[in-house]
Structure 1
Amino acid sequence: MNEKYFVLGLPRTGTTSLCVASLKVGLKTAHTAYTQNAIKHAQLIADTPVFNDYDKLYQLFPNARFIYLEREMPLWLPSIRRLLIRMLPKLIDKRGGFNDTLKRCYFSTFPELDAEKIEDDSYLARCYYNHKARVTEFLSNSSSANLIINLSDPESSKRLANFMNVSNINIPHLNKKGKVTAWNEIRHPLKIESTRTGKVDKDSLLYSIDK
């Protein structure tokens, strides 16, 4: 299986669940990718930087296939709020915190993010729909194969299996009730680490990949 898949859904749309399912069908999988090695060798990549940098990744891998994950707004709002509350101190830390690629992707998608905006449903919903509009336009203008799907749809497993050319795919429901560490706990030979023993490539060099 030589296909490459990029998952464009925002955090809390089922990216971890899809990544675990991807491992089980035999794909080298990265949930976040902050090194050239991870971007080059993973066959399926989700979360950062994909949900923000899909256009750059398409230029690198024009034959890649794209999966956009949707989620019902009443479910996504409280879930993304819990995540952003946890992340905010490290996102706004000027002297450290998260790596530059992650910060850039989040602030691009959630502009001028602060504690007040995290509590604003209209702000969060606007970020979601603005992102969806950009992704939809990208998918419409590109020649890439793509699938738009909600993992809560009873037909989602069948549709994913057809799109990924596998006989079946089982999508687990992970990171329930605000949990965000399920991927870290996964041990699998096809799991691609997002960093190089904790180190990341510089943001400006991330896409200078010799294929």
Structure 2
Amino acid sequence: MNKKFFVLGLPRTGTTSLCIASLDIGLKTAHTAYTQSALNTAEFIADTPVFNDYIQLYQAFPSAKFVYLERELAQWVPSVRRLLQRMLPKLQKQGGGFNDTLKRCYFETFPGLNEHLINDDAYLIQCYNAHQKRVESFIEMNSVEYLKVNLSDANCNTRFAKFMSVPSVEIPHVNKRGKVTAWNDIKHPLKVESTRSGKVDKDSALYQF
């Protein structure tokens, strides 16, 4: 079985930066994966559906290793708020907008999400802490190999390189000041597309390996 790494960090914790670093060390990498082909092909996968569906993915790939990305709440809260404000209209749109897997992952991780709650710091912090608690419980119960890292820490490159068993790695800082398009601009032979020519697998069938 191919090596497999799943990134459990929530949006706006540095998932894109880590995916670019993964490409640089020679791994087939997907930032979001909405087909079984993408999930099978990529060796390093982040964002949706991973941050919500890691239990199903672990069941499908029991030898996988995991990276949990942390970020200071004072930085994460305003950053994820800007993201959710942009996404909300498409998340709420019936019969369109984002695909069903993405919608489900966001509404399960951010339950009851609406325009009012997006502006509530306590709600966003509760979502972050609940996700962290679930991840920590999952890691403890399954004794999986994992790395917990904050990309603002001075030693993050060294720790990530050691976990990935490579001599060194340089994790870039991308999607600054609220931008979220850096991955779309990446052209790399190891980049794995999240869809199949724009089409996705049905949410209910995504994990029928």
The TM-score bracket by the shorter chain reads over 0.9
Partner of 2:79: 79
SS at match of 2:199: coil
C-alpha separation in 2, matches of 1:159 and 1:182:
24
Q: Does 1:136 align with 2:136?
A: yes
Partner of 1:105: 105
- After superposition, residues 134-173 of structure 1 pair within 5 angstroms as 134-173=134-173
C-alpha separation in 2, matches of 1:143 and 1:82:
35
Q: CA deviation at 1:2?
A: 4.1
Q: CA deviation at 1:143?
A: 2.6
User: Which AA in structure 1 matches 2:87?
Assistant: M
Q: CA deviation at 1:95?
A: 2.0
Partner of 2:69: 69
Q: CA deviation at 1:206?
A: 0.6
Please report the TM-score for the alignment, with normalisation by the length of structure 2: 0.99
Q: Deviations over 1:138-173 (max 9, x none)?
A: 001113101111011111111111100011111000
Please report the TM-score for the alignment, with normalisation by the length of structure 1: 0.98
User: What percentage of aligned pairs have identical amino acids?
Assistant: 65
Partner of 2:54: 54
SS at match of 1:30: strand
Q: CA deviation at 1:208?
A: 1.1
Partner of 1:184: 184
Runs of 4+ in 1 over 6 A off after TM superposition: none
Partner of 1:206: 206
SS at match of 1:27: coil
SS at match of 1:69: strand
Partner of 1:34: 34
**Structure 2 gap ranges (5+):** none
**Structure 1 gap ranges (5+):** none
